[in-house]
Amino acid sequence: MNEKDAVELLRHYRHDYLNDLQLVMGYLQLGKQEKAEKKLIDIVEKSNMERKLDQLQIPKTTVFLHQTNMNSTQLKISTMVLFQADIHEIDTQLKSNLEEMLIDLTNFLVEYEEYQLKLSFVANHANHVVLELLIEGHLNNEKTFIEKYMQKSYIHSIKKQTDKQLVIEWIELKK
């Protein structure tokens, strides 16, 4: 990432953060303290999750996730980190696999529909890390999507949660 891209990413991030704060101010001005408190709790939870992601020491993956959220009109990715560890040794491969998965995923998206994705860092083991990607939204040709993804060596399983939810579990091997 060059300096111009970094500044653009920070600008976008600051813009979103200020939008959240303006919502809080608006709720308070309208006397809707409960909504303001809920929004503040959401901001704090999001910040805490970003801090946990930073602690994983995976800068390439982290920047990729932020850039995807900034550039994609259809995909919004949130993260959940369920362990504390330095997993820098898988950063390059994780970013590559995630990028490949999201590029492939775009071929199955319904035009103009927004998709919520939740990337969960589930478990850290001596020789691998377990991740899950929850995809919320209807996919075109879902059966072909599942067949294509199950061919990837790192994919462990794909489970259909509901009509509009799939969970992809995969394993990143440590070096």
Q: What is the pLDDT of residues 127-154, one digit of tens each?
A: 999 999 999 999 999 999 999 999 999 9
Mean pLDDT calculated for residue range 58-83: 93
Q: Are residues 48 and 61 in the same domain?
A: no
> Of 9, 25, 55, at which residue does a domain stop?
55
- Do 62 and 34 lie in one domain? The reply is no
Q: What is the dihedral of CA 148, 150, 155, 156, to 10 degrees?
A: 160
Instruction: Tell me the residue type at 84.
Output: Q
pTM (predicted TM-score):
0.88
Structural domain total, the chain: 2
Beta bridge partners of 76: 116
- Whether residue 43 sits in one domain with residue 114: no
